[in-house]
Structure 1
Amino acid sequence: MIKKTLFTLFLFVATIVLSQEKTIENLSTAPNPFKQNTNISFKTNTVSTVTLLVKNVLGKTVFKKKIKTKIGKNTIPFFKDDLATGMYIYSIQNVEKIVSKRFVIQ
């Protein structure tokens, strides 16, 4: 009886943990490459504050901004401002996860 109870409890906890694991998904940038601005989009299943980081290919952070998310699709406009042409790595980070991709400024 105790084994059944422990097994049921384990399955319950594992289901909760696995269902909450994907907090940031479908990260994309459009258009990519871009000249002046682009939109960074992602989906999330929680309301939270995330950090958008943009790094150059040497790993130096060139842009950082905190953003409040909503459940579902989120879009962040990004303007190149004084960044030089080239490839950059952008990341969306919350308490649980970091998701990174790249974009190119022409």
Structure 2
Amino acid sequence: MHKMLIGHYFVNIGDVARLFLAAATFSDVQSERIFAFGGEFSFSKALDIFRKHYPERQFMENFSQDHAWHTIPQRERAEELLKRFCQPGWVQLEQTVLDNVPL
């Protein structure tokens, strides 16, 4: 399998916006990097989501590896900031895919 087809990461744009506002407005966020990694992504996971929500359509076979090759660094701080914006955590891959891919 080609290494470019190994899993990657995703983040929902709404989560990015909330983290941007947190960095700009919360006084305890000072001179730090906020890592916006919503979770792991693979084309196979996206295809599974399409199949689940559009069972009447046909999609190609899965072809990519599901797991990314690194763990997600320092994700806890970003998740804490999202919770302060009354968000229970990261917007999940399924919702992110459905919001961005009109079929």
Which TM bucket (shorter chain)? under 0.3
Q: Which has the higher helix share?
A: 2
Q: Which structure has more RCO (C-alpha within 8 Å, separation ≥ 6)?
A: 2
Task: Please report the TM-score for the alignment, with normalisation by the length of structure 2.
Answer: 0.24
Task: Please report the TM-score for the alignment, with normalisation by the length of structure 1.
Answer: 0.24
Q: Which has the higher strand share?
A: 1
The structure with the largest alpha-carbon Rg is 1
